[in-house]
């Protein structure tokens, strides 16, 4: 019972802290005049992926590589099927924001690299460094794009050709922004420790592998910030931020979380992940291609199909690891 309480309160603290971190980061981005798609791909995406980073590092340090890898792969599946599917049920949205196609192709490329690195059954410190180096390249490129867009926006404001709307203005003062960021960082650390302690206890109590718990309960729990951010963005008709959040989070999960975790503790890859989960993740990313390049839209019907697909995947997880 104590393990369940640890897991519940840990996930709740991760969700609250992740939301605080994202809100603080978003307000900081508004002060710097960074556009929504770039904000979604970087600041929001990395902020909402902070719970996954804390959980995966903690899991690796606690000799639970299956939980660390399962958390990342399961979160990527949840990000795509649930975090995109659930908002689409509320209202369909178009995939027309700039940078979506480029980011999706990059995500597919690094997913193939990720799979290749796992084929020998381990992700070494050097391979973690490779992934992390790719993240630095991605961040550098995103920074160049963000700075270019920022300069264009500032020029338009100075020339009087662009008016700032209420959505463009921060709703927090600088002291509150710093307070939200600080609470987010501290809360994520404490929430990560509670979540891992609870998850390992629940896995032992249920008699299942920690991989299954990581792919399902923990992955869903650490994806709550992405889900909350995407639903909020969807209700505000900010499709660019929603898609950017999902793609950016998935990129950071693979390059940042696995890269950093493997550099700290080399990861052994569970056979169950190579049998099913990694291929499900790749198939879902490929599934996004025609929507991004052809239909350019996720309808309510497709949203329902994606959400139901996620439920089926959760059932398959426990059948795969048993």
Return per-residue pLDDT of the chain as tens, 322 residues.
Answer: 677 788 788 778 777 876 777 777 778 777 766 665 566 566 666 666 677 777 788 778 878 777 788 888 988 898 888 878 887 887 777 766 556 788 888 999 999 999 999 999 899 999 999 999 998 888 888 777 767 766 776 676 666 665 555 556 777 888 888 888 788 777 766 776 777 677 777 767 766 666 777 777 777 776 766 666 666 666 656 666 677 778 888 898 899 889 989 998 898 888 888 888 899 999 999 988 887 777 677 888 888 999 999 989 888 887 765 5
Q: What is the pTM of this model?
A: 0.76
3-class secondary structure for the chain? CHHHHHHHHHHHHHHHHHHHHHHHHHHHHHHCCCCHHHHHHHHHHHHHCHHHHHHHHHHHHCCCHHHHHHHHHHHHHHHHHHHHHHHHHHCCEECCCCCHHHHHHHHHHHHHHHHHHHCCCEECHHHHHHHHHHHHHHHHHHHHHHHHHHHHHHHHHHHCCCCCCHHHCCCCCHHHHHHHHHHHHHHHHHHHHHHHHHHHHHHHHHCCCHHHHHHHHHHHHHCHHHHHHHHHHHHCCCHHHHHHHHHHHHHHHHHHHHHHHHHHCCEECCHHHHHHHHHHHHHHHHHHHHHHHHHCEECHHHHHHHHHHHHHHHHHHHHHHC
**pLDDT computed for residue 254 by the predictor:** 93
**pLDDT computed for residue 160 by the predictor:** 61
**pLDDT computed for residue 322 by the predictor:** 52
Which fold is adopted by the domain 2-321?
A middle domain of Talin 1 (1.20.1420)
The full set of domain ranges for the chain reads 2-321
Query: CB-based contacts of 207: which residues, under 8 Å, 6+ apart?
Result: none
**pLDDT computed for residue 118 by the predictor:** 93
Structure tokens that stand for 287 in this block:
């599934």
**pLDDT computed for residue 44 by the predictor:** 64
**pLDDT computed for residue 126 by the predictor:** 95
């Amino acid at each position: 019972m104590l393990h369940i309480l640890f897991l519940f309160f840990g996930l709740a603290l991760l969700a609250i802290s992740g939301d605080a971190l994202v809100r603080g980061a978003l307000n900081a981005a508004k002060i710097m005049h960074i556009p929504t798609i770039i904000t979604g791909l970087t600041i929001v995406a990395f902020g909402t992926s902070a719970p996954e980073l804390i959980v995966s590092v903690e899991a690796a340090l606690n000799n639970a590589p299956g939980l660390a890898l399962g958390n990342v792969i399961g979160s990527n599946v949840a990000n795509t099927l649930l975090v995109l599917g659930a908002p689409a049920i509320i209202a369909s949205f178009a995939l027309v924001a700039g940078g979506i196609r480029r980011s999706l192709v990059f995500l597919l490329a690094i997913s193939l690299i990720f799979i290749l690195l796992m084929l020998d059954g381990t992700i070494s410190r050097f391979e973690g460094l490779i992934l992390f180096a790719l993240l630095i390249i991605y961040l550098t490129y995103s920074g160049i794009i963000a700075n270019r867009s920022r300069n264009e926006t500032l020029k338009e404001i100075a020339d009087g050709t662009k008016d700032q709307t209420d959505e463009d203005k921060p709703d927090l003062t600088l002291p509150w922004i710093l307070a939200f960021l600080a609470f987010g960082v501290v809360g994520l650390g404490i929430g990560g420790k509670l979540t891992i302690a609870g998850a390992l206890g629940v896995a032992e109590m249920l008699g299942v592998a920690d991989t299954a718990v990581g792919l399902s309960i923990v992955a869903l729990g650490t994806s709550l910030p992405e889900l909350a951010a995407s639903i909020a963005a969807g209700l505000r008709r900010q499709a660019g931020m929603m898609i950017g959040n999902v793609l950016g989070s998935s990129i950071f999960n693979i390059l940042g979380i696995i890269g950093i975790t493997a550099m700290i503790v080399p990861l052994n890859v569970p056979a169950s992940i190579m049998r099913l989960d990694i291929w499900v993740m790749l198939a879902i990313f490929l599934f996004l291609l025609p929507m991004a390049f052809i239909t350019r839209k996720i309808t309510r019907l497709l949203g329902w199909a994606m959400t139901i697909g996620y439920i089926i995947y959760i059932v398959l997880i426990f059948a795969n690891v048993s």
